[in-house]
Amino acid sequence: MCGILAVLGCSDDSQAKRVRVLELSRRLKHRGPDWSGLYQYGDSYLAHQRLAIIDPASGDQPLYNEDEKIVVTVNGEIYNHEELRRSLPNHKFKTGSDCDVIAHLYEEHGENFVDMLDGMFSFVLLDTRDNSFIVARDAIGITPLYIGWGLDGSIWISSEMKGLNDDCEHFEAFPPGHLWYNPTWFSEAIPSAPYDPLVLRRAFEDAVIKRLMTDVPFGVLLSGGLDSSLVASITARHLAGTKAAKQWGAQLHSFCVGLEGSPDLKAGKEVAEYLGTVHHEFHFTVQDGIDAIEDVIYHIETYDVTTIRASTPMFLMSRKIKSLGVKMVISGEGSDEIFGGYLYFHKAPNKEEFHRETCHKIKALHQYDCLRANKATSAWGLEARVPFLDKEFINVAMNIDPEWKMIKPEEKRIEKWILRKAFDDEERPYLPKHILYRQKEQFSDGVGYSWIDGLKAHAELHVNDKMMLNASHIFPHNTPVTKEAYYYRMIFERFFPQNSARLTVPGGASIACSTAKAVEWDSSWSNNLDPSGRAALGVHNSAYEKQLSSTVNKNLTNNIIDSVPRMMEASAPPLTIRS
């Protein structure tokens, strides 16, 4: 990942303005610690903070076409750049960077070239011949991007909100795939293609393999769940004998984070041993996580409860990974949205409802899991790649008749059954059966069941009942309805006090975007204010109770311990997973 900042059409081209742009660009240096660059053309500025993954020696930005009349600053990776280079035989490229194709594609094809790009990206392209510009963001919004407007008529573009929140009168998230991305599934029409497990398998293998494009050390995030385990398995199979294997070693490195004794640590270690990866286990305590919350909210730029819960362990793990010299990891985000992997999908009444909800979830990914995965890793100059959100793979998966995705216990079909079945190879197993069919854990629960309860208990110490009583007056937009949500909101407002900032968080901290549909499918959800997946079904009760009793006393102070039983007692009703 990199950090981009552009100021277009401002009324000031002075040295003082240039210094200010540089100052704001430095707020993004964590995204790109390897190099920085700034291009100025009249009243427009294009700045870049580089994380060098492809062609570290010569791929510094901004990048140009041959006569340097077209300038581009890019955050992301273009996986099909070699194919695109071959399609431009009359162009001369100055670097080996994958992003170098963008300016040349524009010169050759005009603004309609964006759909030719296969990758994750955000960029600003300035055509100095007519002083026009293009801003684009990848189809799903894997890379973050914000747009702002100044009082002088200027337009601001930044990878993160902190690059423009002090200088713009108004700003908001730039929409993913804006104007250029409109696949068949986007209209939410019900698809009818038959399920072919081999087609699905090949599509995902291709998605993983193309993301192994790198000139720097890399690894995989491995929680031991289905998604990360499949990514690790495919990567390990492909790695032997490749250029990357010769350069970085034949064994794949894998990484997992959790509280002591957490489900993810146990499962991740088992999968790593099965695959033969060099496995790195990172432990943290509840207090470690609590101590990092302010940094997490500053970097993630949200007050959404579930995002903060899951971002914190990932934030801590990313720092450790970067300390080992690794600059790129492959992760498993996106599968649950595509295949209906969240536990409330058990209650979907029919395939039409199921499919439309997966469409809604994918369209919202840039506000939740994509935001978390990108910013939690980029906070430490680490790049996360997400093969489940590959453009071609999504087209294959979302074109399957959703009847095949429906969860049917009577037929032994659990969530994401079609993905599991696609990789259930008896002759050459990708994974052990019990891992392949391991049930869904929320990431924030998988790292240790006492993590969420520790956060709630900590918030209980800092937010009193009187504060909650007046919450709607203090925070009229997206009013927090739990003390944990109120606590996060206070921190967020301190870093980002602008009204534009609070408007970038959809649905508020009170409940996740999926809850309205969950309540519609299962009315028992209406009794639960917690946005995590625990309330969906009574699936993990016994594991949760056991884990809590064995770890809570090790991680919480006496005051926090006293508050946990009261919070549990007042939470979800019987037969649901208590929050």
221 annotated ligand binder: yes
Ranges of H-type helices in 211-285: 226-239, 243-248, 263-275
Query: CA distances (Å), 293 to each of 287, 301, 506, in order?
Result: 10, 12, 20
End-to-end CA distance of the chain: give it in Å, rounded.
35
pLDDT over 70 (residue 197) = yes
CA distance 36 to 17: 17
Bridge pairing between strands 328-330 and 218-221: parallel
pLDDT tens digit string along 345-359? 999 999 999 999 999
The alpha carbons of the chain give a radius of gyration, in whole angstroms, of 23
Mean pLDDT within 219-229: 96
pLDDT over 60 (residue 284) = yes
- Residue 450 CB partners (closer than 8 Å, separation 6+): 259, 286, 547, 548, 551, 552, 555, 556
CA distance 414 to 16: 60
pLDDT at 55: 87
To 10 degrees, what angle do helices 197-210 and 226-239 make? 70
What does residue 10 show for φ and ψ, rounded to 5 degrees?
-80, 165
The percent of residues in the chain predicted with pLDDT above 70, rounded, is 86
Secondary structure string (H, E, C) spanning 429-465:
CCCCHHHHCCCCCCHHHHCCCHHHHHHHHHHHHHCCH
Length, in residues, of the chain: 579
Please report the DSSP string for 280-309 in residue order.
EEEE--HHHHHHHHHHHHHHH----HHHHH
pLDDT at 275: 96
Q: How many CA atoms lie within 13 A of 264 on its CB side?
A: 29
Extract the tokens encoding 314.
């990932």
pLDDT tens digit string along 294-324? 999 999 999 999 999 999 999 999 999 999 9
CA distance 576 to 273: 34
pLDDT tens digit string along 418-458? 999 999 999 999 999 999 998 776 555 678 789 999 999 99
Burial of 153 (0-12, 13-18, 19+ CB in 10 A): exposed
What's the DSSP call for residue 423? T
Catalytic residues: 2
- pLDDT classification of 555: cutoffs 50, 70, 90: very low
Residue with tokens 């032994």: 412
The amino acid sitting at 234 is I
Mean pLDDT within 175-190: 93
- Domains annotated on the chain, with CATH: 3-173 (3.60.20.10), 189-445 (3.40.50.620), 451-569 (no CATH)
Extract the tokens encoding 415.
């969530």
Query: CA distances (Å), 571 to each of 114, 526, 541, 555, 579, in order?
Result: 48, 12, 13, 21, 6
Burial of 353 (0-12, 13-18, 19+ CB in 10 A): middle
58 annotated ligand binder: no
CA distance 467 to 395: 47
pLDDT over 60 (residue 554) = no
pLDDT tens digit string along 445-498? 678 789 999 999 999 999 999 999 999 999 999 999 999 999 999 999 999 999
CB 78 within 8 A of CB 119: yes
Chain centroid, CA 565 distance in Å: 33
Q: How many CA atoms lie within 13 A of 566 on its CB side?
A: 8
pLDDT tens digit string along 397-414? 999 999 999 999 999 999
257 annotated ligand binder: yes
User: Which region holds residue 119: left if phi is over 0, alpha if psi is between -120 and 50, else beta?
Assistant: left
pLDDT at 520: 86
CA distance 508 to 505: 6
CB 64 within 8 A of CB 70: yes
CB 263 within 8 A of CB 446: yes
Query: CA distances (Å), 533 to each of 128, 311, 361, 407, in order?
Result: 50, 16, 14, 16
Extract the tokens encoding 74.
């890019």
The percent of residues in the chain predicted with pLDDT above 90, rounded, is 80
What does residue 507 show for φ and ψ, rounded to 5 degrees?
70, -5
The residue with greater pLDDT, 438 or 523, is 438
pLDDT over 60 (residue 575) = no
pLDDT over 80 (residue 261) = yes
CB 361 within 8 A of CB 415: no
CB 128 within 8 A of CB 147: no
Query: CA distances (Å), 203 to each of 68, 109, 391, 392, in order?
Result: 38, 28, 10, 7
331 annotated ligand binder: yes
